[in-house]
Amino acid sequence: MDYRTRLYRSVLYMPASNERALEKARELPVDAVIFDFEDAVAPDVKPDARKTLKAALARGGYGPRMRIVRVNGLDTEWGRADAEAVRDMETDAILLPKVDSPEKIDELAAITGELPIWAMMETPRGMLNASAIAAHPKVAGLVMGTNDLTSEMNARFRPDRRPLRTALDLCLLAAKSEGRIIVDGVYNSYRDTDGLATECAQGRDMGFDGKTLIHPAQVEVANRIFAPSSGEIDLARRQIAAFEEAQKRGQGLAVVDGQIVENLHVATALKTLAKAAAIEARQAERTS
């Protein structure tokens, strides 16, 4: 399946060393999983985590969930061994942390060959090189690393994320200009579903495809907010119908709810309906 047509509303991190979490991911209604060798795995457990994850992926059971493995940076003592191990795993993509230039992608691709690469965007230099990173032909998606970024910028966490907005916008523009997927950073207070919902809504408004998550309790909120609402689906249907009627009358635009509908609005409406259909199909798969 083309990675662009998949769903990315909820992208759940889990430590690759945590067998219970690897097991649980087979049942959770997430769109994608990031199996982590980096921050979530203690140094002395990293070699065993490679074996644990390889066995879990070989066993399968992750269904339509996108499988992404995050390795340690290639400038760490674990990075190369991680990448070599991932090359032989049943996975859809590999995620490289702290990508600050397209050369970092070349370095990883020299080890992993054709495996699609996702880039963690979490350093000030990475923000300034976002366009070149997103344009790299091996890159399929960008993942915001808002914890590292906040720390590297010596910024403060704020509910409105004002200190990060320029960086988020630069990465969004880079991803959109290259047709890449882009998912938002994590919300650390994993029991605070109201705060998560507010941040998801902000990310959705900005154009992110979904949100990275750290706990199963966050999945429902992200799935709901990154899905088209019933109002959006209804509007999309009415826009398409009105535009078709207008065309039959030889007109190039229609009016719905007092607002014009042109070709570009119809294109957006079709995308909304395609996403809604993909979500419905996913739900039907789960209940069958």
The binding site for substrate consists of 70, 122
Contact between 236 and ligand LIB3CWND by CB under 6 A: the answer reads no
Q: Least distance from C-beta 15 to Mg ion, angstroms?
A: 14
Q: Least distance from C-beta 241 to ligand LIB3CWND, angstroms?
A: 42
CA distance readout (Å), 197 to 182, 253, 278: 18, 35, 22
Secondary structure in 3-state letters for the chain: CCHHHCCCCEEEEEECCCHHHHHHCCCCCCCEEEEECCCCCCHHHHHHHHHHHHHHHHHCCCCCCEEEEECCCCCCCCHHHHHHHHHCCCCCEEEECCCCCHHHHHHHHHHHCCCCEEEEECCHHHHHCHHHHHHCCCEEEEEECHHHHHHHCCCCCCCCCHHHHHHHHHHHHHHHHHCCEEEECCCCCCCCHHHHHHHHHHHHHHCCCEEEECCHHHHHHHHHHCCCCHHHHHHHHHHHHHHHHHHHCCCCCEEECCEEECHHHHHHHHHHHHHHHHHHHHHHHHHC
Q: Least distance from C-beta 208 to ligand LIB3CWND, angstroms?
A: 14
Q: Least distance from C-beta 154 to Mg ion, angstroms?
A: 16
Contact between 182 and ligand LIB3CWND by CB under 6 A: the answer reads no
Give residues with Cβ within 8 angstroms of 111, minimum separation 6: 80, 83, 84, 87
Q: Least distance from C-beta 13 to Mg ion, angstroms?
A: 10
Q: Quote the tokens at residue 118.
A: 């996702």
Contact between 15 and ligand LIB3CWND by CB under 6 A: the answer reads yes
| Residue 25 contacts which entry, Mg ion, ligand LIB3CWND, none (Cβ below 5-8 A, type-dependent) | ligand LIB3CWND
Site string for ligand LIB3CWND, 89-128 (x = CB under 6 A): ---------------------------------x------
| Residue 36 contacts which entry, ligand LIB3CWND, Mg ion, none (Cβ below 5-8 A, type-dependent) | ligand LIB3CWND
Contact between 216 and ligand LIB3CWND by CB under 6 A: the answer reads yes
Site for ligand LIB3CWND (CB under 6 A): which residue of 102, 126, 145, 210?
A: 145
Task: Give the total of residues touching ligand LIB3CWND (CB under 6 A).
Answer: 22
Site for Mg ion (CB under 5 A): which residue of 36, 148, 184, 199?
A: 148
Site for ligand LIB3CWND (CB under 6 A): which residue of 68, 71, 186, 240?
A: 186
Contact between 126 and Mg ion by CB under 5 A: the answer reads no
180 CA to centre of own chain = 10
Alpha-carbon span 13 to 23, nearest angstrom:
13
| Residue 20 contacts which entry, ligand LIB3CWND, Mg ion, none (Cβ below 5-8 A, type-dependent) | ligand LIB3CWND
Point out which residues bind ligand LIB3CWND (CB under 6 A). 12-15, 20-21, 24-25, 36, 39-40, 122, 145-148, 185-186, 190, 214-216
Point out which residues bind Mg ion (CB under 5 A). 122, 145, 148
